[in-house]
Amino acid sequence: MTEGLQYHLENKLPITENIFRAGSSKYFELFHEVRSLYTEGKIELTNEEDKYFIGETLVGEVGMYKGKEVYLDFPMPTRETLSEMLQEAKYRGRKVKLGKPKRGGPKKFYVYTKNKKGNVVKVNFGAKSGGGKLAVKLKDPKARKAFADRHNCEDKNDKTKPGYWSCRLPRYAKALGLTQVSARFW
């Protein structure tokens, strides 16, 4: 048993919280070691997420791609995803940051994001004209839950729709000058 795995077991750290830098050889070796010991019945995983990760994915295993060894189930960025990771794009001729909500516009907030075609779009969300006295009630758990239930927040996944950003407003509370609470409404 390696020192890294021993540290995880002694400190009851889930394997999914790997202590090594993601993408490093030690990172993959730990997953490979855990998978080997788990399948041989030499260790037991108590965390359900670890059981899924070790039993259902191939992270830590090696495969061949175009004559080179590559680690499986570990996505590497492509040129397209790298540009998205940089979060900069052009909207109507000027540089904008993607996925960073700001105050202002015809509604209370706005954000720039890319649609399925790859075009940059501006999404306005929040109450009209800044909402007047209508406030974002992040501190009130009942109000947050009611909002999430009313807007069906768990099912909002389209970044080009205002509902997606409204439901994730707590995540950006600090940047927007709002009272910071948990990372989401629901």
pLDDT higher for 113 or 57?
A: 113
Per-residue pLDDT at 128: 78
Mean of the per-residue pLDDT values for the chain?
81
* pLDDT > 70 in the chain, percent: 84
Residue 160 — pLDDT band, cuts 50, 70, 90?
A: very high
Q: In whole angstroms, how large is the CA radius of gyration of the chain?
A: 22
Pair (44, 83) in one structural domain = no
Pair (66, 100) in one structural domain = no
The candidate with the shortest Cα–Cα distance to 51, out of 64, 38, 40, is 38
Pair (45, 107) in one structural domain = no
Residue 185: inside a domain: no
The number of distinct structural domains making up the chain is 2
Residue 183: inside a domain: no
Residue 186: inside a domain: no
Using the predicted structure, report yes or no on whether residue 86 has a pLDDT greater than 70: no
Give the position of tokens 């090594």: 20
> Is the Cβ–Cβ distance between 56 and 93 less than 8 Å?
no
pLDDT in tens, 112-149: 998 988 899 999 998 876 566 667 777 788 888 888 88
> Which residue among 22, 52, 71 closes a domain?
71
> Is the Cβ–Cβ distance between 131 and 138 less than 8 Å?
no
Residue 130 structural domain: 79-176
- 126: tokens are 């929040």
Residue 164 in 3-state DSSP? helix
Residue 152: inside a domain: yes
